[in-house]
Amino acid sequence: MRENRILQQLDNGETAIGAALNINSPHLVELIGSLGFDWVFIDGEHGSMSDPEIENMVRAAETDGMASVVRVAANEPQLILHMLDAGAMGIVVPHVDTVEDAKKAVDAAKYPPLGERGSNYGTGRNNEYGAGFSDVRDYYTESNRRTILFALIESRAAVENFDEIIAVDGIDASWLGPADMALSMGMPEQSVIDAALEEVVSKTVAAGKISAVTHPGPDAIDQLTSFRKLGATIFATSALALLNQTAAKWQAAARKL
């Protein structure tokens, strides 16, 4: 079973830096890996990718040893199982608004005794078709350890219930969703949203869990700095936004020639 590069980075006291994609492109995933990123975020909720397409992107991430994190379309066991069986090292579950939502996600993503995930040991690429473990019980234990389950916090209710959500055994990390959170709150002043996001990060770290911040744009290093001071250790930005930013700068320079 492959090691999770995100966890390796964190265990070494480093941050884990990723790039996000919501379009089907294994070639872009390979490029992201060749550029030195630790992990890639594959958006299966807002993108239009099929399960086989996502699996090929997961496979592409592995060529450079990157971890792949997939956001599933909904908090449904079959969707989560498909992506884990495809080899994803992390799952982002959207709309985790209550402790019941959190427990449902854990049941789908983790093997017993933490959850109720069904086994494909010996037949799936996620466990290298049974290679590497002489005792299947060791595989189940290692899979639970190496698979990061992120609760996406993107609503007023999620913030209000966050103490209970982050305390659920098997929820490894929080993931911030500021856009939907703002909609849920009635589009208040940005300072209100910022305060809620900071509260989630601080409470995550206090609970001994992992905080992921993936929404700032490529030029918003000041935001990442603030979140890092609060204890966030997983960061990402949009790969397409990086391309847009670089393209705009190059064109502006070239047109002056």
**DSSP 8-state code for residue 125:** G
Active site residue: 27, 46, 95, 215, which one?
46
Backbone angles phi, psi at 221, to 5 degrees: -65, -30
Crossing angle, helix 190-206 and helix 221-230, to 10 degrees?
Answer: 40
Tokens of 74: 């909904």
Q: What is the Cβ-side half-sphere exposure of residue 64, based on CA atoms within 13 angstroms?
A: 21
Residues recorded for the chain: 257
Q: Is residue 60 a contact partner of residue 80, using CB atoms and an 8 Å limit? A: no
Contacts of 164 (CB under 8 A, 6+ apart): 98, 99, 102
Element (H, E) at 69: strand 67-71
- Does residue 95 have an active-site annotation? no
Cα–Cα distance, 126 to 70 (Å, whole number): 14
In DSSP terms, which residues pair with 151 in a beta bridge?
93, 174
The residues carrying an active-site annotation are 46
